[in-house]
Amino acid sequence: MDTLLPLADRAAGLLRARGETVAVAESSAGGLVCAALLAVPGASAYFRGGAVVYTRDARRALLGIPDAALDGVPPNSEPLAALLAGAARDRLGATWGLGETGAAGPTGNRYGHAAGRACLAVAGPLARSATLESGDADRQANMRLFGAELLRLLIGALEGG
Amino acid sequence: MDTLLPLADRAAGLLRARGETVAVAESSAGGLVCAALLAVPGASAYFRGGAVVYTRDARRALLGIPDAALDGVPPNSEPLAALLAGAARDRLGATWGLGETGAAGPTGNRYGHAAGRACLAVAGPLARSATLESGDADRQANMRLFGAELLRLLIGALEGG
């Protein structure tokens, strides 16, 4: 969590200054984005909630994303990240939604993506998405990296808006 | 997350040996329990998903807990932690559900509980609940402590079962 805290603190300050809120749908980042955002005192002002949705079942059960919608986007893609971000935003009534899907490692995923690849998205007044490849198979390092990059994407959207 | 990893690893080994699964509803632990459980390689075998439900709205939106059920238990209590644990278990179809509600700090909550107090619960084949008071107002330290104690409660239930 520690490497994400300065980013969460910066995002929190921007959200608070704008009177806006955020909701999160994390997959391989595993909850670290939620934890970093909640670690900032006074988080209830801007943090609406989050879902750790590593499986299709969890995406349906927690975020209400129908299988047909998941079938309509490629696995581990920016469109899937955007779908997760939008679902978190809608479900939790937040200004911004964050979505992440990736392969943290130590092995790649069954779709042929190498460990260290993640797709990230921000939904909201501005939409952003990104793909990163760390070239690293360290699962915990990738979880932190994916989480940090997702917070950076949010900060970029907040500063650009 | 680091202090939780040995506990998550131990819980993961026990779950895997039993062919069982777990789902999580965290409040003040913020996602650290999910992150620790997912940091163990092969987590998809036993981790069904998690919700970071810091607010009543999030408990309803992600876990489907009606306001009437929340009204029926005291705030920041073991019965509330058990309600969260049971909802996570049911919603995600897991063998075990984990629930946590607490005041991480730096200040106490509006119900008069001091920072560092948390209520924890495990739902499943065995039910357990516990209350802890750390006597510490360090928000991040409390988040880690709440998460670690929730994993310990699960380990105790798994070893006792």
- In this predicted model, what pLDDT tens digit does every residue of B83-111 receive, in sequence order? 999 999 999 999 999 999 999 999 988 88
Residue A114 inside a domain? The answer is yes
Specify the number of domains making up chain A.
Answer: 1
Q: Which domain holds residue A70?
A: 2-121+148-160
- Predicted pLDDT of residue B2: 79
Residue B63: list chain A partners with CB under 8 A: 62
SS3 A18: helix
Q: What's the pLDDT score for residue A45?
A: 96
Question: Lowest mean pLDDT: which of A81-90, B45-54, B63-72, B106-115?
Answer: B106-115
pLDDT surpassing 90 at residue A59: yes
Query: Is the link from the previous residue into B41 a cis peptide, with omega within 30 of 0?
Result: no
- Nearest chain B Cα distance for residue A44, angstroms: 8
Within-domain flag for B127: no
Query: What is the pairing mode between strands A117-123 and A128-133?
Result: antiparallel
**CB distance B140–A39 less than 8 Å?**
yes
- pLDDT value at residue B140: 96
Nearest to B32 among A29, A35, A41 (CB): A35
The answer on pLDDT for B1 being more than 70 is: no
Share of chain A above pLDDT 90, in %: 93
Average pLDDT over residues A104-120: 92
Residue B161 has pLDDT above 80, yes or no: no
Contact A29 B35 (CB under 8 A): yes
With contacts defined as CB-CB under 8 Å, which chain A residues touch B49?
A: 51-55, 57-58, 61-62
* Chain A residues whose beta carbon lies within 8 Å of the beta carbon of residue B47: 54
- Which residue from A161, A124, A160, A104 is spatially nearest to A23, judged by alpha carbons? A124
pLDDT of residue A161: 60
In B, minimum Cα distance to A31 occurs at B31
Contact A38 B143 (CB under 8 A): yes
Q: Which amino acid is at A26?
A: E
According to DSSP, the residues that pair with A128 across neighbouring strands are: A122
How does residue B71 score in pLDDT terms, banded at 50, 70 and 90? very high
Which of B39, B50, B93 is nearest residue A139 as measured by Cβ atoms?
B39
Identify the H or E element spanning A103.
Answer: strand A96-103
Taking the Cβ of residue B29 and every Cβ of chain A, the question of whether any pair is shorter than 8 Å is answered with: yes
- Give pLDDT, residue B37: 98
Mean pLDDT (whole number) for A56-75: 96
Q: Choose among B53, B52, B33, B29: nearest CA to B43.
A: B33
d(CA B102, CA B75): 9
Percent of chain B topping pLDDT 70: 99
Q: Is A127 a domain residue?
A: no
The domain that holds A63 is classified in CATH as: 3.90.950.20
Q: Which of B7, B22, B45, B18 is nearest to B97 (CA)?
A: B22
Which of chain B's residues have a Cβ under 8 Å away from the Cβ of A58? 48-49, 92
Interacting residues of B141 by C-beta distance below 8 A, sequence separation 6+: B134
> Is B52 within 8 Å of A34 when comparing Cβ atoms?
yes
For this complex, say whether ipTM is above 0.85: yes
**DSSP labels for B91-104?**
HHT-SEEEEEEEE-
- On average, the pLDDT of chain B sits at 96
pTM for the complete prediction?
0.97
Q: Does residue B103 lie within any of the structural domains?
A: yes
Residues 115-154 of B with CB under 8 A from A: 139-140, 143
User: For residues B59 and B72, is the Cβ–Cβ distance under 8 A?
Assistant: no
Residues 58-117 of A with CB under 8 A from B: 58, 61-63, 91-93, 104-107
